[in-house]
Structure 1
């Protein structure tokens, strides 16, 4: 029965609808797997065993009465512990909030529950989502399931690990400079950052109001579309939320990519890339061409200034949130966060305003460059994951830029997908990134799904035994 845990949301949802699988049975399987492997992987901060079983019983009763809420009915899902869960502690990965119990769910969490998803637990993260490795000094470092001596990426590292190892069918993550996509790439799963404003951020600890996104993390692209279909939608509680009512989910996969034009800006995408990672990415490009896509060179003028602006925006906005907490609890923060806050305090109001102006101009320029182009492509991660414990606090602030090419989509606010595209010679996963124009989320998912269907890298997750051997040694 444990094989069920590596099936897709779509296929298991169908079994639940046909009453072949029960939500209670499935939830107990997930909880059993967490008990077996999470002590070594540290994917969770809080496991919601009682709450999950209670949810499952309600959903099973509905199932027996023929009441199915949708494809997520009875499906165990993890939630990054940056998002509020009613009646269950939400720590933000911080010692400061280790005992905080919210009285409401984050909007994305509530929508998932309303759709029948079972919240199985709160996933580990880099403290307050402010890092790319999920090395957490308070709750333990999450481990990469392909090599538990290495980080899984961050900040949604626990979410990626839970999804990659069958402890959850998917997870809700957050992404300010790549925190959904980078850990997805490094753990061999799928991560999707939607268009800015498409999914409500209400009920989450903010990092940067201008850059934060909430998105799905799954094992397949189509499962990400299923989750996003439920999570999206206008929310008056989130000032950035937009009134867009277009469908995301697609039932049939594209037969090929003929007529799709993909732009590639080599000076940025290949800057700092590991030679083995580059080999994997170029094989993925060849496959995209084989499927019929045309890959053309593109220029992105002003990209370096825009990415510098992202750092300015993010670090100044995060300080504005944390300043009141720092007055009372400065000793409870991790060392890398203290370094970040000092950087943010040195940013002037003029610097911040100029960074936002630079960002606006870059978005306009990029839209012009993407005329006639469906999406940008490149690697998600350009380096393999670090060894746990090797990164000093002073370098941590640049990890997202060192490890991957994800920040580009955040400064733009455009939809971006990471899909597994192969492995290095050391058997560490690599992610292919596809970045679309605003509100072309469905098209980006369809392109990624077509690539994924032609390669089936997702099967490797079921066959991975690295964390199993090491967790029992």
Structure 2
């Protein structure tokens, strides 16, 4: 920790336990045993919110009065023998970009302050049906396009481990809320590591689901579509097993397809780390990683070897990484260009005309992607399939790939200019901030599931996570590996507190 003045004060442990630090599974089991009430869990989250949120600013919209009323209902249901499932009576928050009926969805843009949702997103509805209790919405960057979480409506969210640093983005408020105990879990979205890097920066667990597994109906502006390109939803929590509990609740086909389609994810029954074949990729010349992050991942790999696990070092899919990065950047910006206003889009069209075919810089490709014609988009799809084939081949040799989630631990807050105009200090040199998009698109372009778990600490005591990539639809495999790592000591640690 860089300075005690930059840490936060969390609620002290109570006689009934530190519920603001408990896992979903622990709280759910206590509810079933009647050792705690749902109302008490809401009170614990509210106490953490009152203590930490003034400093962290993670939860930007809340309705605790409504949450308490629903908690009373959930407790009554439990007393009557009606258990909706493992999330019954568990408080949660949701990323601001998901619609909640009667609440604004702005993606940080003041122009949409009056965009009040008529109905909730599919994810919100499924969690409510599962018995979970919504507490509030968590902060995001403007248009969900930053590894920080700040905007002109709700201000800046800070990392609970060091208030001078970012919690990540765009699900930065989600990770900060979970880390400080303001919610037992949150659901974010991820197209450019927006679930993965906040978990890495804040020291919690997260899961980027297989593309298409979770409906994004009611996400973003003007309300989202069920299956956007690349983008996915997924949970953030304080324990790996909680990720599976939430994923089971939110996964599934769109309502109109539910009469005909069922999702049954392959199970992973590994009972020890020794049963897993690990690929390890600690760095890449296309996107250099800071030595502190690389050291944590390398030490994790050596620990796995000492435990008897099979480890393949420098494992990677056999593909042209530079070509993949260019393709991913183009498709990423094509997928998100809907957030641009008419004037900004017109400017992108002009800028795209000047982009050379061999230009690989993000500064240029963002315009080329935004202005892409559908025919050009279609011509990129065979490349995506080629990359997917390379990943399939890799997974004949390893069960999961362990790699970085981002280039560094949480970096100091920097709100000057646009993200693509900023740099990041990596091994004493300056790297374009957008270079670390590689660790998002390397697997994300092909829709692969990725779980992030704590993997160590930097020299300054900041969390470092590991990204666990698995084959398509093997979400439960990467989550199971994270659970086994958690049992081996790679677990959530609350931010330092003064009480």
1:236 positional shift: 4.6
Per the alignment, residue 316 of structure 1 pairs with: 334
Structure 2 unmatched ranges of 5 or more: 1-13, 349-362, 424-431
Per the alignment, residue 244 of structure 2 pairs with: 225
Work out whether residues 329 and 365 of structure 2, in 8 Å CA contact, stay in contact via their aligned partners in 1. no
Per the alignment, residue 289 of structure 2 pairs with: 273
SS of 1:72 mapped into structure 2: coil
Per the alignment, residue 496 of structure 2 pairs with: 464
Change over 3 Å in CA distance of 1:426–1:76 after alignment to 2 = same
Per the alignment, residue 334 of structure 1 pairs with: none
Per the alignment, residue 375 of structure 1 pairs with: 400
Change over 3 Å in CA distance of 1:324–1:237 after alignment to 2 = farther
1:24-44 superposed Cα distances (whole Å, 9 cap, x missing partner): 121122112212211111101
SS of 2:377 mapped into structure 1: helix
Per the alignment, residue 32 of structure 1 pairs with: 47
Per the alignment, residue 23 of structure 1 pairs with: 38
2:298 corresponds, among 265, 282, 302, to 282
Normalised by the size of structure 2, how large is the TM-score? 0.84
SS of 2:158 mapped into structure 1: coil
Tell which deviates more after alignment, 362-371 or 81-90.
Answer: 362-371
Per the alignment, residue 211 of structure 1 pairs with: 230
Question: Is 2:320 aligned against 1:302?
Answer: yes
Work out whether residues 300 and 365 of structure 1, in 8 Å CA contact, stay in contact via their aligned partners in 2. yes
1:41 corresponds, among 40, 56, 74, to 56
How many Å separate the matches in 2 of 1:403 and 1:364?
21
1:55-88 superposed Cα distances (whole Å, 9 cap, x missing partner): 2121121122222212211111010011111122
SS of 2:236 mapped into structure 1: strand
How many Å separate the matches in 1 of 2:39 and 2:170?
30
RMSD: 3.0
How many Å separate the matches in 1 of 2:170 and 2:164?
17
1:103 positional shift: 1.8
SS of 2:156 mapped into structure 1: coil
1:343 positional shift: 5.7
SS of 2:235 mapped into structure 1: strand
Work out whether residues 380 and 404 of structure 1, in 8 Å CA contact, stay in contact via their aligned partners in 2. no
1:123 positional shift: 0.4
Per the alignment, residue 333 of structure 1 pairs with: none
Change over 3 Å in CA distance of 1:156–1:404 after alignment to 2 = farther
Change over 3 Å in CA distance of 1:249–1:228 after alignment to 2 = farther
Tell which deviates more after alignment, 391-400 or 212-221.
Answer: 391-400
How many Å separate the matches in 2 of 1:135 and 1:87?
23
Task: Give the aligned length.
Answer: 454
Per the alignment, residue 360 of structure 2 pairs with: none
Per the alignment, residue 415 of structure 1 pairs with: 449
Tell which deviates more after alignment, 90-99 or 432-441.
Answer: 90-99
How many Å separate the matches in 2 of 1:261 and 1:425?
29
1:364 corresponds, among 384, 389, 392, to 389
Work out whether residues 16 and 23 of structure 1, in 8 Å CA contact, stay in contact via their aligned partners in 2. yes
How many Å separate the matches in 1 of 2:154 and 2:110?
8
Tell which deviates more after alignment, 367-376 or 437-446.
Answer: 367-376
Question: Is 2:186 aligned against 1:171?
Answer: yes
1:171 positional shift: 0.3
1:98-128 superposed Cα distances (whole Å, 9 cap, x missing partner): 2322121111111111111111110001122
1:175-195 superposed Cα distances (whole Å, 9 cap, x missing partner): 002100100000000110111
SS of 1:91 mapped into structure 2: coil
SS of 1:377 mapped into structure 2: strand
SS of 2:76 mapped into structure 1: helix
Normalised by the size of structure 1, how large is the TM-score? 0.88
- Counterpart mapping for 1:20-419 below 5 A: 20-205=35-220, 206=224, 209-236=228-255, 243-246=261-264, 254-265=270-281, 268=284, 271-296=287-312, 297-320=315-338, 322-323=340-341, 342=367, 344-349=369-374, 351-389=376-414, 392-393=417-418, 394-395=420-421, 399=433, 401-402=435-436, 405-419=439-453
Structure 1 unmatched ranges of 5 or more: 331-337
Work out whether residues 86 and 104 of structure 1, in 8 Å CA contact, stay in contact via their aligned partners in 2. yes
Work out whether residues 282 and 294 of structure 2, in 8 Å CA contact, stay in contact via their aligned partners in 1. no
1:242-279 superposed Cα distances (whole Å, 9 cap, x missing partner): 945225788xx854123421223466389411111111
Change over 3 Å in CA distance of 1:9–1:248 after alignment to 2 = farther
How many Å separate the matches in 1 of 2:198 and 2:49?
19
Work out whether residues 190 and 420 of structure 1, in 8 Å CA contact, stay in contact via their aligned partners in 2. yes
1:442 corresponds, among 476, 491, 494, to 476
1:136 positional shift: 2.3
